Amino acid sequence: MVDLVIALRDVSVSFDRNRVLHNVNLKMQKGETTCLLGTSGCGKTTTLRVIAGLQKFESGSVNIFGKEILPQTPEKFIVPLRKRLGVVFQNGALFDSMTVEQNIGFPLQYCKGVTNEEQVKEAVLEILQHVELNKDVSNMYPGELSGGMRKRVAIARALVHEPEVLLLDEPTTGLDPVTARHIDALIYELTHKFKVAALVVTHDLVSALGIGDSLVLMESGKIVWKGSKEAWISSRNRSVRFFASGLVSIGEANVP
């Protein structure tokens, strides 16, 4: 039986009295990759940040690893759950003043309490192999890396502490088409190898169809469709067809 690891129930978020998420319901299963699709500003990243415990919500609940998080839940109860997640931010969020080894090693220290330098180095070199980067990269700084290499380092950092859930925000943004497809293939391979539940936020339908087990479509802060890749391809849903054709459905709003 497939295990449920994340469940958002009727989650709503507002910024300055502007409702940006409307009663969002979303489930993530162990070992499955969910791709959250939508145009820029539809609420995808806000949804990811709610799951990551980085965004407060005003109503609803988030069940993560069997623990229920409510709007009033204190931060001290959320932090231990957050340490069981791996997050790849849209801009990579690498520390420019730190080497690749230091960047990747940071979650080992913060999430797992690993302080032995040899253990950290060994883990870093191992995860670099998984993301297909040479060990020499460990001594480089983010500013010395190409865009594709920075994405790989960000993915390595998110996976090095062996999280149970992997969250990726627009992992192929800013990359040329060839590099983007290489990153897609890497994500597909690693999510299956590490057997994590993954949420990939993207506006790239090609990526979603390549790496997702299930697809979810957002519009103006609301989930308007969810289902399998096969169901997407055969769907006659108006929002699905608009998005697939590159058009914006009527009523689409610019939501953070």
- Segments making up each domain of the chain, as ranges: 88-177+188-197
Higher pLDDT, 23 or 115: 23
Query: Average of pLDDT values for 83-92?
Result: 90
CA angle 162, 163, 165 (to 5 degrees): 145
- Answer whether residue 37 shows pLDDT above 50: yes
Separation of CA 26 from chain center = 14
- Report residue 55's pLDDT band, with 50, 70 and 90 as the boundaries: very high
Record the pTM.
0.92
Tell me which fold the domain 88-177+188-197 belongs to. Rossmann fold (3.40.50)
Judge contact between 167 and 106, C-beta under 8 A.
Answer: no
Judge contact between 39 and 201, C-beta under 8 A.
Answer: no
Distances in Å between the Cα of 53 and the Cα atoms of 63, 85, 99, 150, 154 are 11, 10, 27, 24, 19
pLDDT at 51: 97
Give residue 6's identity as a one-letter amino acid code. Answer: I
For the chain, the average pLDDT equals: 92
Judge contact between 126 and 118, C-beta under 8 A.
Answer: no
- Answer whether residue 113 shows pLDDT above 90: no
Q: What percent of the chain has pLDDT over 70?
A: 95
